[in-house]
Structure 1
């Protein structure tokens, strides 16, 4: 996406309201490529008009987010408008109601980026529900996020497998239909962990043996998620990121160890520290019994749709 001769075109007056789902990325071996939407939604309203920026926030993380042009939703809107050839308007009202916990590994940053990119597109007349609109939103959000796993799940819903185009320009996503009996339970701790901190713990090189083992389990994971959940435990074994970051979230890894030793497919959600368990309806109560005062368990369905936009021009 590049700017063109419309670089100074004004964004038309209008309003858009949208909801963006949370997401869990990696799911074990699907590092930076496999994501899953979670039925926990941030709501955003944007109105163009006036001569100043007004940002209102409530809910999760509201006390910590900026109320100026550095707000992630606003920054993402600006990037999208610039790329489409529009000047960022001086008069913007942005209202955010956050339900996704911040810095817990549930895609709060990706959801904010998807919200901003989608709102910007809708306000200049691009249909975010069309195939071309979703592709554009997915490309820009993936670029801003740096990897497409969380953002693609928030854009498309369901389970997504994403990869970079061979020319390095843009992203592609395949949307998978979850098995009807698949359930996701997130154990969310009170503590936060910045994604940058978690990524700093990763090695720069991976051995061929580990890469081969990991790719085999990633292939099995897509089968387990969509066709046969009995394979979930071996399918969620990975070699690229969790053990390397154990020191960043020891309590989370202890819970993962306990759950996996009991036969449950537990993984670190995204960069952590949330623990995600992929299970079936018959095992939900057993998995939930592992919760204690440290963990806030969230048992949610997997929505089959991603970001939902409602425009008023």
Structure 2
């Protein structure tokens, strides 16, 4: 199918990175979505009914279009201009992968209308080169739990879809830009600290895969890569972690760079945990979430799948 077949949709899930000690390497896809409705046009145009997105550029300066044009240029292709309705459940600058989902959406847009025929592996490398690490973009592309490693020109990921737990995101009204949150991190780690930090992340993965939820939560709390440095920027963090644990969460972690705190619980416990957090922290939004195992998807509006 091609763009001449009419309107099509690109859907990309949100993501959370790190899960505590998996800094820049572990991500998980969440059931909040960026949606693009795309139709051929005489010029590039983006619009949205969302107040949060209305102030973004409406022409080819829009970030998603920029990514699409950048992607197409790598393959010496010119793209047919499109009119794009952009809607999103993903709050901006809250640590839920809004920029990563936009990067994946731009690459999917270029791939579809430019008929590039990119594999998932090629899309992932393109996205990782833009983002700088594979955790968020890998989760948004593949879905599920993603563990990735990036070296210049090469990215390797393991995507796991047969893991299941529920999550509650406690989202503050205030944003926190990733560049500000990265600014508080140390420039280097000692050899011994690096060993300790990576061993904690390794045990986290083993605990998640073996469904040892208590151990997984313990490893989230033991992170030394980034959370100890970022917590001062998020004054409510310790209170949320302590409260969530008392209400059945097996673990909590900063979602990406923050300021959202992600609380993890076994299946069936998310609704009660979300209500408890909503009552205890009324100035923030408590949102029950599940793992999205589909990843990015492109389809015609007649429900005929194309990707």
TM-score, normalised to structure 1's length? Answer: 0.86
Query: In structure 2, the residue corresponding to 1:250 is in which secondary structure?
Result: coil
- Would you say the 8 A contact 2:143–2:161 is kept in 1? no
Over 3 Å counting, the alpha-carbon distance change for 1:60 and 1:154 in structure 2 is farther
Q: Which residue of the partner structure matches residue 66 of structure 1?
A: 57
Q: Which residue of the partner structure matches residue 17 of structure 1?
A: 9
**CA–CA distance in 1 between the matches of 2:156 and 2:78?**
28
**CA–CA distance in 1 between the matches of 2:142 and 2:240?**
30
Specify which of 225, 237, 262 is matched with residue 252 of structure 1: 237
Q: Which residue of the partner structure matches residue 177 of structure 1?
A: 161
**CA–CA distance in 2 between the matches of 1:270 and 1:113?**
16
Q: Which residue of the partner structure matches residue 87 of structure 1?
A: 78
Query: In structure 1, the residue corresponding to 2:30 is in which secondary structure?
Result: strand
Q: Which residue of the partner structure matches residue 56 of structure 1?
A: 47
Q: Which residue of the partner structure matches residue 121 of structure 2?
A: 135
Query: In structure 1, the residue corresponding to 2:236 is in which secondary structure?
Result: helix
Specify which of 199, 210, 227 is matched with residue 216 of structure 1: 199
Deviations 1:188-223 (A, max 9, x none): 111111111111111101122322221112111112
Mapping of 1:236-275 within 5 angstroms? 236=220, 237-259=222-244, 264-275=250-261
Deviations 1:134-187 (A, max 9, x none): 11111111111121110000000000011124xx2031211023434x212111
**CA–CA distance in 2 between the matches of 1:99 and 1:259?**
24
Over 3 Å counting, the alpha-carbon distance change for 1:54 and 1:264 in structure 2 is same
Q: Which residue of the partner structure matches residue 30 of structure 2?
A: 38
Residue 108 (1) aligns with residue 98 (2): yes
Deviations 1:226-263 (A, max 9, x none): 22223222221200111112232222344235445887
- Would you say the 8 A contact 2:93–2:178 is kept in 1? yes
- Would you say the 8 A contact 2:10–2:35 is kept in 1? yes
**CA–CA distance in 1 between the matches of 2:67 and 2:228?**
33
Q: Which residue of the partner structure matches residue 5 of structure 1?
A: none
Equivalences, count:
294
Q: Which residue of the partner structure matches residue 159 of structure 1?
A: 145
Specify which of 219, 225, 244 is matched with residue 235 of structure 1: 219
Residue 196 (1) aligns with residue 179 (2): yes
Over 3 Å counting, the alpha-carbon distance change for 1:245 and 1:60 in structure 2 is farther
Q: Which residue of the partner structure matches residue 20 of structure 2?
A: 28
1:37 deviates by 0.3
Query: In structure 2, the residue corresponding to 1:40 is in which secondary structure?
Result: strand
1:39 deviates by 0.7
**CA–CA distance in 1 between the matches of 2:243 and 2:288?**
19
- Would you say the 8 A contact 1:211–1:239 is kept in 2? no
Query: In structure 2, the residue corresponding to 1:87 is in which secondary structure?
Result: coil
- Would you say the 8 A contact 1:61–1:98 is kept in 2? no
TM-score, normalised to structure 2's length? Answer: 0.88
1:18 deviates by 1.1
1:17 deviates by 1.3
- CA root-mean-square deviation: 2.3
Stretches of structure 2 lacking an aligned partner (at least 5 in a row): none
